[in-house]
Amino acid sequence: MQIADNHVVTIHYSVKTTDGDIIDSSENAEPLAFIQGSNFMIVGVEEALYGREAGDKFELEVPPEKAYGDRQEQLIQEVPVSMFEGMDVDVGMSFRATTDQGEQSVMIVDKDDEHVTVDGNHPLSGMTLVFDVTVKEVRDATADELSHGHVHGAGGCGHAH
């Protein structure tokens, strides 16, 4: 069966920088299962999966515009440390912040006695990523999976909708 929208696709993958540094991998864990066409995967990987079948193995270089986008300097802001009153914040922490554009994930990238610098860019934004992908399984998604928007395991989805 060739991969198309509304198929459940199960893959093993590794993703690394163009320098070869491994960022993430499923090789020593359970494979990743998702519904093709649901925007679960980054655009570059999802596009490369169309037409592939179980057993296919391939390497793919994904530019920022088909991964996590280019870095946007306006998403880096210095805010008064008083905005974090009562919180113990350190560089590297991530949290959800309320912005003019709604909820957004931000990371603390710098801190001094007066200011905290937060970055709303995805940590992999601006990077070309290299994926090694092995397609393990392809099947039609069930009606329940499609209506819920995610893959169910053997015992169902494990939560109420």
pTM of the model: 0.82
Same domain? For 38 and 83 the reply is no
Same domain? For 111 and 129 the reply is no
Q: Cα–Cα distance between 160 and 158 in angstroms, integer?
A: 7
Write out the residue range of the structural domain in which residue 35 sits: 7-68+125-148
Same domain? For 20 and 86 the reply is no
Asked if the structure places residue 154 within a domain, the reply is: no
Same domain? For 89 and 11 the reply is no
Q: Above 70 in pLDDT, residue 157?
A: no
Give the pLDDT confidence of 49-89 residue by residue, as tens digits: 999 999 999 999 999 999 999 999 999 999 999 988 888 88
Same domain? For 56 and 21 the reply is yes
Asked if the structure places residue 49 within a domain, the reply is: yes
Residue 21 pLDDT class (50, 70, 90 cuts) = very high
Q: Cα–Cα distance between 139 and 117 in angstroms, integer?
A: 45
Q: What is the pLDDT of residue 105?
A: 87
Q: What is the pLDDT of residue 15?
A: 98
DSSP letters of 82-102? GGGTT----TT-EEEEEETTE
Q: Above 70 in pLDDT, residue 154?
A: no
Give the pLDDT confidence of 88-113 residue by residue, as tens digits: 889 999 988 877 777 888 899 999 99
How many domains does the structure of the chain reveal? Answer: 2
Q: What is the pLDDT of residue 95?
A: 85
Q: In what order do the strands lie in the sheet with 115-119?
A: 76-80, 115-119, 102-111, 94-99
Asked if the structure places residue 140 within a domain, the reply is: yes
Run of H or E including 109: strand 102-111
What is the percent of the chain with per-residue pLDDT over 70, rounded to a whole number? Answer: 95
Query: Six-digit token pair at 132?
Result: 């090694």
Average pLDDT of every residue of the chain: 92
**CATH code, domain with 11:** 3.10.50.40
